[in-house]
Amino acid sequence: MIHLELLGAHTRLLSPLCARCPQGSAGCCFSPPPVDWSDIGRIVALGGRDFLLARIAAGHLQPTASGLRILRVRRRERPTDRRQNKCVFHGAEGCTIDHTLRPATCNYYVCEDTFQERAPPREDVQGEASTASGDEAVVAAVTAARRAHAALHTLYTRWDEALAVRIAAGWPEGPPWDAAFLDWLGEEQRHLEAQAGPLEALRP
């Protein structure tokens, strides 16, 4: 059953379905999300500035107009696997980097299949709402997960827009991608998170 790890703005949605993903061994890491401004600020604020600098230098993270792009590579993890394009950070057992170093989308996105997994029908064959306690627990978990997903998507979109304006004003030619810029972004992200106040739906 889908479940939440409540960590405020760093909340994670987790599903056992991902370990046997119907989309294949790389799951949705087949196509990694962008690392937006708010993601970069979040990673720096959580202590990952040097990780970002090292991965930018290695070409695993590539600057774009709206943040960073994660390199996709074509490889297989076992001789019996077929080669496939996927995120450079994806390994044989899934993601190889800590959740604090990922784009927030990697932590809060799950596909519709995970919401549907083991979800009971809304009504039984007689048209009566199910009252089984197990079913109610699944429905409650799915409802909480959908609410968290929507709240996080709204929050990070708003933060990206705010940061994009500040970066365009401060670096009209584009940011320098050095330690000082990343530290500034981390500090801006800390302020935005503080201004957001307690996130009731996402409170640990």
Summarize as ranges the residues that interact with ligand SF4 (CB under 6 A): 15, 17-18, 21, 23, 27-29, 32, 70, 87, 89-90, 95, 97, 102, 106, 110-111, 113-114
For residue 27, the minimal CB distance to ligand SF4 (Å) is 3
Least Å distance, CB 17 to ligand SF4, is 4
Nearer to ligand SF4, 62 or 129 (CB): 62
Cβ nearer to ligand SF4, comparing 94 with 162? 94
C-alpha distances in Å from residue 41, one per residue of 19, 34, 67, 80, 170: 29, 13, 10, 39, 16
Residue nearest to ligand SF4 (CB): 27
Q: Which of 27/41 has CB closer to ligand SF4?
A: 27
Q: Which is nearer to ligand SF4, 58 or 165 (CB)?
A: 58
99 close to 114: Cβ distance less than 8 angstroms: no
Least Cβ distance, residue 142 to ligand SF4 (angstroms): 14
Long-range CB contacts for residues 51-59, cutoff 8 Å, separation at least 24: 51/97, 51/101, 52/182, 53/178, 53/179, 53/182, 56/177
How is residue 10 annotated by DSSP? T
Compare residues 1 and 162 and give the one whose CB is closer to ligand SF4. 1
| Nearest distance in Å: CB 35, ligand SF4 | 9
DSSP 62: E
DSSP β-ladder status, 12-14 and 61-64: unpaired
- Of 56, 39, 59, nearest to 101 by C-alpha is 39
Instruction: Calculate Rg over the CA atoms of the chain.
Output: 19
Q: 118 or 162: whose CB is closer to ligand SF4?
A: 118
Least separation in angstroms between residue 154's CB and ligand SF4 is: 20
CB of 181 to ligand SF4, least distance (A): 22
Rounded Cα distance, 12 and 113, in Å:
17
Tokens 């889908």, residue located:
2
What kind and span of H or E run contains 105? helix 104-108
